[in-house]
Amino acid sequence: MKKNASVFFCQECGYESAKWLGQCPACHEWNTFAEEPKVSTSRGKMASSGRRSEAKEPVSLKHIDSDSQDRISTGMAELDQVLGGGIVPGSLVLVGGDPGIGKSTLLLQVCRNLADRLEQVLYISGEESLQQIKLRAVRIGEFSDSLKLLCETNLSDIEAVVLKNRPQVVIIDSIQTMFQEEISSAPGSVSQVREATGVLMRLAKEQNIAIFIVGHVTKEGTVAGPRVLEHMVDTVLYFEGDRHASYRILRGVKNRFGSTNEIGVFEMTDTGLREVANPSEYMLSGKPEGASGSVVVCMMEGTRPMLLEVQALVCRTNFGLPRRTAAGMDYNRLNLLMAVLEKRLNLPLSSYDAYVNIAGGVRLSEPALDLGLVLAIISSYRDVPIPDKTLVFGEVGLSGEVRAVGMSQQRVQEAKRLGFDRIILPKSSLSQMKSITGIRLEGVSTVRDAMEVLG
């Protein structure tokens, strides 16, 4: 008899191989390959469709009416902004995040808001019982009868329930617990996740139902099987946050119906997640006054400006090799900027330890952070505090030049709204600025100019 065909999948990233490999060539993780039965083409089509679809005729683009696709508001302004204005009917949205970060709580609150305005919302859980969901719902508040709950993991039964009830929005918590009977591998395997997502995608498109699916994350912080999931769904949202902090950040990394890299800020309370309408003020709360090495910078998260505090501590090293520590930013970028200061300003930083922290636990990668980080290091080294109402942004090059960054006008307007009266920015950005009264703009061309501006 012919041996049943099987393939090997990487459990971290979903890479497929005909034989077992010790290290995955895609994500470079060790001992992550697992053998699963190979799904034939005809069998996979039956699993994902269940019936033969009739041939369809192509339609001209000008004859398609896009105005009929009105977005559905979630009742949470922060989530609507990340989604691009609300939920698009027929879309498939993936929500990922660490265990216990608040994914299920967020989606249950969304269901509560939607149930007050829609005819029917369906919440399907494969991880919790109805009683457990009820306990969590009581903590959040009162729910409308339009919200229906279902505890099921069989995709065939779930599809039948969805087709019978025709809800406008469906929540699947989580995709790793769902399974197809036609697939012999265990729930959570790459084959099951791929087929389950295919069934849900077909349901969303054919029935014009918005479906949210919760995805588990790997130890690297990405959704398990990203090549299987992220390429199939319309929108990918990551729920991030420090377990020791109360705030949570919802970040959009893929969106076919809106801009990417948008964020929404929430605060975890005893009654669920609360929206933070002013994240800049929230992040700057508790900033010390008159302390050296502290400076406020303005970052852009999508189209939203956000003010954050950068802290630097420079002290003489007790050993021959100075220590560098970076929390919330790229460690190599810190070393690069310190080398620029030592070369261009003749600061003897090679004999000093440097510790840099982005207050609040936020991680930044935007180049506009450079100038603020440089001034924080200089301030700590000289033990000269930067005035409290001063904001800094700009990119620093290897020659010590300060380069312009995008959206300078929005950064200045946000700073003025929060009461800042002085901004140090790239000189080349001044020509792009519109007239703004009540705030002093000081342009700098090099890091030496920036140091002289501080006095």
Which residues does the annotation place in the binding site for ATP? 97-104
Q: Where is 395: in which H helix or E strand?
A: strand 395-396
Residues 6+ apart with CB under 8 A from 398: 336, 340
Cα 50 to Cα 43: distance, rounded to the nearest angstrom: 10
CB 257 within 8 Å of CB 84: yes
Cα angle for residues 44, 256, 63 (degrees, 5° grid)? 90
DSSP conformation class of 431: G
Which of 437, 440, 365, 445 has the alpha carbon at shortest distance from 400? Answer: 445
Which of 436, 446, 359, 434 has the alpha carbon at shortest distance from 400? Answer: 446
* Full DSSP string of 347-385: --GGGEEEEEEETTS-----TTHHHHHHHHHHHHHHT-P
Cα 427 to Cα 408: distance, rounded to the nearest angstrom: 11
